[in-house]
């Protein structure tokens, strides 16, 4: 049996009038609480190997958040590190932001908020420690099922890019957007040796955006409601001393929305009801019903048996040389510095952003400035800078790159205060100009370049920690790239765990990227971003397969042969550690 521990802690920040993260709207400010925010943790251990799967009810994880959590655990003297903790989120857009040190994702909060980072860091760290303390012997079962087509659960909000993929043999029509998603929920059931449930984790990809951007109340949204419904049901059914915990995690969710009705008054899509909270509760109830159905029949599913293992690495995604097999057999392709497109600022049908007229003007201005930089300004640059700029233009095309996060350019200039777009055109433009006048934009990184990539293994199942929002087909390609390698070491199923450990925008296929919808505009590292993830995760999977814990074929899974655990070396890993590095209160 495995040793399994669970915990749930509230992490709602005690701070009002702070911007909520997700929609990028200055008016999306927290003025009250509709439902509290929680973090849920599962700790699994076997043969002196342990891992923690964490899911927090916030928008997305950040490097500063993960660093803070690990630092806090190490200060407690525990042998946890970046390798064996997977920090994921369920992606509600109604939770306070400001817990990242990257400039771009703090703009509308506005700014870095120490109290919010502290609230999340300490809550998550305490939950991990609590789950570890409460471990008990148990078993794990896997099962999955698919939502009926009539259930209004998930809709592909970018159907045209989806149809551009060669995997889509029959192009879907507008009224078939519910078919352009993965409608399968996958679930792990954890139960004690006495047969009483410990909890469950399920993966289903859909945006946690039933609540729109005009909201001013903190809420865990549809997945939070689903978890609450399921926990209430299980704890009522089984009278135990320890609370039964359920996690509703994300899968391939990049282009998947819960909203499907056009609201003529608000000019965006919504759920079944005009009251967003009622729509969120209904949507959560649909997810709860499916999870409960799978949970009840999971004892007849696959029981996980075998080793626990994990691996984590960091890759600089601004300069990944992609494998030709993942880049249409083109050689010498690579990613570039991260850039945001105009289509990103314009938003989506469920969360509109920059006015279309401003977007059209911005695209024209960007094209003009780009010509000037290529044929005039480049003559005054160093050879190295010129080559890098030209590569970025080529790699990011056809994106109208309005923000170059790697170099700090906005519409081709570092003097943002002098942008030709007037401040009154859009609040973000006005804020950018004000920050530039104060010199704030020069004192911090604008966005992520180095990303964490992670694998977990529990018996026959693998878990891929993906630090972005990956679209339906992009996730399918990534899974098809990695799973054959893992099959050779006895792993039959692979979970794409989105929003894991850090946040790097979206990941689209190259075909989807060409059409530059919102998702393509927020695919940071250019047209080969997915190819870069395939390249790096393939190498990580090959390295992962060399571990003594992964050299198990299907005959060995029953435990006839055991590997010798490798030891942690936290002292070496954290040499020179200084608590102020993480900017948290200790």
pLDDT in tens, 229-255: 999 999 999 988 889 999 999 999 999
Among 507, 458, 455, CA closest to 485: 455
Secondary structure class of 9 (helix, strand, coil): strand
Domain assignment present for residue 567? The answer is: no
Does residue 72 or residue 242 have the better pLDDT? 72
* pLDDT for 525 beyond 80: yes
Does residue 512 or residue 547 have the better pLDDT? 512
* pLDDT for 171 beyond 60: yes
Domain assignment present for residue 329? The answer is: no
Q: Are residues 344 and 234 in the same domain?
A: no
Does residue 28 or residue 420 have the better pLDDT? 28
Residue 424: pLDDT band by 50, 70, 90 thresholds?
A: confident
User: Which phi and psi (to 5°) does residue 161 adopt?
Assistant: -60, -40
Domain assignment present for residue 160? The answer is: yes
Percent of the chain topping pLDDT 90: 80
Residue 153: pLDDT band by 50, 70, 90 thresholds?
A: very high
pLDDT tens digits for range 331-364: 999 999 999 999 999 999 898 888 888 899 999 9
Mean pLDDT of 255-266: 96
Q: Are residues 430 and 461 in the same domain?
A: no
Residue 572: pLDDT band by 50, 70, 90 thresholds?
A: very low
Rounded CA gap, 182 and 179, in Å?
A: 8
Q: Are residues 81 and 170 in the same domain?
A: yes
Structural domain for 390, as ranges: 339-404+409-442
Alpha helices in 397-459 (DSSP H): 427-438
Give the least confident one: 158-167, 205-214, 290-299, 551-560: 551-560
Q: Quote the pLDDT of residue 160.
A: 97
Q: Quote the pLDDT of residue 92.
A: 98
Domain assignment present for residue 578? The answer is: no
Domain assignment present for residue 586? The answer is: no
Percent of the chain topping pLDDT 70: 93
Mean pLDDT of 391-412: 93
Q: Are residues 53 and 142 in the same domain?
A: yes
Mean pLDDT of 177-191: 98
Q: Quote the pLDDT of residue 571.
A: 35
Q: Are residues 385 and 474 in the same domain?
A: no
Mean pLDDT of 44-72: 97
Q: Are residues 478 and 437 in the same domain?
A: no
Domain assignment present for residue 115? The answer is: yes
Q: Are residues 428 and 458 in the same domain?
A: no
247 within 8 A of 42, measured Cβ to Cβ? yes
Rounded CA gap, 84 and 573, in Å?
A: 13
Q: Quote the pLDDT of residue 549.
A: 59
Q: Are residues 226 and 175 in the same domain?
A: yes
Q: Are residues 381 and 305 in the same domain?
A: no
Q: How many domains does the chain have?
A: 2
Q: Are residues 437 and 541 in the same domain?
A: no
Q: What is the DSSP string of 206-224?
A: --S-SS-TT--EE--HHHH
* pLDDT for 294 beyond 60: yes
DSSP 352: B
Q: Are residues 250 and 392 in the same domain?
A: no
Q: Are residues 418 and 469 in the same domain?
A: no
CA 46 vs. chain centroid, Å, equals 28
Mean pLDDT of 156-181: 97
356-361 LR contacts (CB < 8 Å, sep 24+): 358/421, 358/425, 358/426, 361/421
């Amino acid at each position: 049996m495995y040793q399994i521990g669970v915990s749930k802690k509230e992490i709602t920040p005690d701070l009002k009038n702070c911007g909520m993260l997700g929609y990028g709207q200055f008016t999306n400010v927290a003025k009250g609480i509709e439902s509290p925010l929680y973090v849920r943790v599962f700790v699994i251990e076997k043969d002196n190997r342990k891992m923690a799967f964490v899911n927090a009810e916030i928008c997305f994880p950040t490097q500063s958040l993960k660093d803070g959590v690990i630092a806090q655990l190490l200060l407690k003297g525990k042998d946890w590190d970046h390798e064996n903790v997977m920090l994921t989120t369920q992606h509600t857009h109604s939770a306070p932001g400001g817990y990242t040190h990257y400039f771009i994702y703090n703009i509308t909060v506005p700014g870095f908020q120490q109290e919010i980072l502290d609230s999340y860091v300490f809550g998550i760290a305490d939950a991990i420690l609590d789950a570890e303390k409460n471990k008990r012997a148990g078993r794990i079962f896997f099962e999955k099922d698919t939502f009926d087509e009539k259930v209004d659960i998930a809709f592909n909000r970018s159907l045209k890019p989806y149809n551009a993929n060669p995997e889509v043999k029959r192009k879907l029509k507008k009224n078939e957007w519910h078919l352009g998603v993965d409608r399968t929920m996958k679930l792990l059931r954890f139960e004690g040796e006495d047969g009483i449930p410990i909890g469950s984790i399920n993966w289903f990809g859909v945006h946690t955006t039933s609540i729109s951007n005009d909201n001013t109340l903190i809420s865990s949204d549809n997945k939070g409601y689903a978890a609450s419904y399921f926990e209430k049901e299980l704890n009522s059914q089984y009278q135990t001393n320890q609370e039964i915990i359920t996690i509703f995690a994300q899968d391939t969710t990049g282009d998947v929305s819960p909203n499907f009705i056009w609201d003529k008054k608000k000019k965006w899509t919504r759920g079944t009801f005009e009251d967003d909270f009622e729509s969120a509760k209904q949507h959560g109830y649909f997810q709860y019903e499916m999870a409960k159905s799978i949970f009840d029949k999971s004892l007849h599913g696959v029981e996980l048996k075998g080793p626990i293992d994990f691996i984590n690495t960091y890759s600089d995604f601004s300069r990944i040389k992609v494998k030709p097999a993942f880049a249409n057999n083109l050689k010498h392709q690579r990613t570039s510095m991260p850039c945001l497109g105009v289509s990103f600022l314009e938003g989506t049908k469920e969360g509109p952003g920059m006015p279309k007229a401003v977007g059209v003007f911005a695209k024209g201005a960007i094209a003009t400035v780009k010509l000037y930089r290529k044929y005039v300004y480049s003559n005054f640059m160093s050879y190295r800078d010129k080559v890098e700029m030209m590569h970025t233009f080529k790699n990011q095309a056809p994106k109208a790159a309005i923000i170059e996060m790697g170099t700090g350019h906005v519409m081709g200039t570092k003097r943002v205060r002098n942008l030709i777009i007037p401040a009154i055109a859009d609040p973000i433009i006005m804020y950018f100009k004000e920050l530039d006048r104060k010199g704030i934009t020069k004192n911090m990184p604008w966005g992520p370049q180095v990303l964490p990539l992670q694998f977990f293994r529990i018996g026959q199942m693998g878990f891929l920690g993906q630090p972005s929002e990956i679209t339906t087909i992009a996730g399918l390609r990534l899974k098809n790239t990695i799973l054959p390698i893992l099959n050779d070491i006895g792993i039959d199923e692979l979970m794409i765990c989105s929003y894991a450990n850090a946040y790097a925008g979206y990941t689209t296929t190259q075909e989807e990227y060409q059409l530059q919808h919102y998702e393509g505009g927020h695919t940071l590292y250019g047209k080969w971003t997915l190819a870069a993830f395939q390249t790096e995760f393939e190498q990580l999977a090959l390295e992962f397969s060399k571990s003594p814990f992964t050299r198990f074929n299907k005959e060995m899974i029953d435990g006839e042969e055991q590997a010798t655990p490798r030891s942690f070396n936290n002292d070496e890993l954290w040499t020179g550690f200084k608590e102020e590095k993480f900017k948290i209160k200790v």
